[in-house]
Structure 1
């Protein structure tokens, strides 16, 4: 199944969804049309239990160059208008962050401003050596958005997040790997295949276990007793699934596990 919008492409194949930002002339800038189309797709994705993973990527040689500054300069909203616009964006961003299936961002070229923030929404970021990440908001007198205040400190720590946000400096692919922003680096010609392989591996994973892991890791502020209680509840649910029983039987019968993280 494939759907073409004005600013994105959405495809589902073999239980893996691929959302491609597709406004190549503007380096896939995050404009109002793209935001609305992504909202529609995220709603559709969450309602489809057959989809086991999502790949988020950009068309051409860039992931996303950030917000559409021409639109920002001409839209003419007042303070209340901008607040309402951001709150409407937050509705589907929360739906994507809390998605109970893995999200893999495949980043080539620029991931600037909102593009960097969008990449950080993923569970795994893989990139090419020519990828560049930048919290560029300070360059235009703005603060980071698209949930970056939530995502970036959780990955790099508060001090480094503060430095990246306030300096608005570029981060190379190699530094992104060192900081834990990127999980892996791959040549441009191999990036999409690797992203699809990672996503496809979760087709054979327990969807209940995957969702429970993501939910538990989204709550790092809880104290130890609370987390242990969450662990007990989650494991009890996982123990009762068909996926668990099948995996145990395959192990006892000396059959290979259905879920295998793909080798490099």
Structure 2
């Protein structure tokens, strides 16, 4: 795995190319360390997740899993160790962009779903392959996928274990943009870099609101809205951005040119 920070953007690249970046315990521990490093580093304004060698992530390393000879209790603890850092990623208060080329299977699909935006190549493929090997979806998929595609479609994808091509994934809302394979990482990094000039307070509060919204009632969300907007009104980022608007200067935060539909 490689971990690089440039211009406020951290790029985390899975790099087990011979295994299509399948996750074993060593890679999982590297993921944990890098995610925690991002969470601690306030100079990082956005995170990009990607994979090397024409694959995003083929899921869990089945040879390593079988070799561990897990019983129910050890299997549970293995997943809890994963959840310790995965929850940090899912609740990160800064934008996460996934650059997906090639397969995003199993846990790889879960990592993509942990992102706020997924930029994919035309050859990207998504698959909840767990049932093919007698497992249930993990890496937070029970939580994330129904919020993106709805419960009925999530059940279909989980129980069919079928492959989802890039264009269908975009139609379902899993993918934000499809770009040529040689532009996937650059586009993801451009999106991430645009947040260097966004209000960190507003970004964090938007992410918190969207995480809470599916299970909250109107009164709860209106109360959150009032408190969040109060914090933003009082922020230096808002005052500077508003003054630039009044002075007819370009906004500091601008989405990079491209179609995010």
> What TM-score bracket applies, with the shorter chain setting the length?
over 0.9
Q: Secondary structure at the match of 1:105?
A: strand
- Among 239, 253, 259, the alignment partner of 1:259 is 253
CA RMSD of superposed structures (Å): 0.6
Aligned to 1:96: 89
Aligned to 2:45: 52
Aligned to 2:147: 154
How far has the Cα of 1:192 moved from its partner? 1.1
* TM-score, length-scaled by structure 1: 0.97
Aligned to 1:188: 181
CA distance in 1, matches of 2:36, 2:125: 29
Q: Secondary structure at the match of 2:98?
A: strand
Aligned to 1:4: none
Q: Map 1:226-245; keep pairs closer than 5 Å.
A: 226-245=220-239
Q: Map 1:51-200; keep pairs closer than 5 Å.
A: 51-200=44-193
CA distance in 1, matches of 2:161, 2:209: 31
Aligned length: 257
Superposed CA offset, 1:179-222 (max 9, x none): 00000000011111111110000000000000000000001201
Q: Secondary structure at the match of 1:165?
A: helix
CA distance in 2, matches of 1:147, 1:192: 24
In structure 1, list runs of 5 or more residues that go unmatched: 1-7
- Among 10, 18, 24, the alignment partner of 2:11 is 18
CA distance in 1, matches of 2:67, 2:48: 33
How far has the Cα of 1:239 moved from its partner? 0.8
Q: Secondary structure at the match of 1:218?
A: helix
How far has the Cα of 1:77 moved from its partner? 2.1
Superposed CA offset, 1:143-198 (max 9, x none): 00000000000000000000000000000001001000000000011111111110
How far has the Cα of 1:78 moved from its partner? 1.4
Aligned to 1:224: 218
Q: Confirm whether residue 211 of structure 1 aligns to residue 210 of structure 2.
A: no
Aligned to 1:5: none
How far has the Cα of 1:74 moved from its partner? 1.1
How far has the Cα of 1:100 moved from its partner? 0.3
Superposed CA offset, 1:98-152 (max 9, x none): 0000000000000001111111000001100000000000000000000000000
* TM-score, length-scaled by structure 2: 0.98
* Aligned structure 1 segments of 4 or more residues deviating by more than 6 angstroms: none
CA distance in 2, matches of 1:80, 1:221: 30
CA distance in 2, matches of 1:86, 1:158: 23
How far has the Cα of 1:30 moved from its partner? 1.1
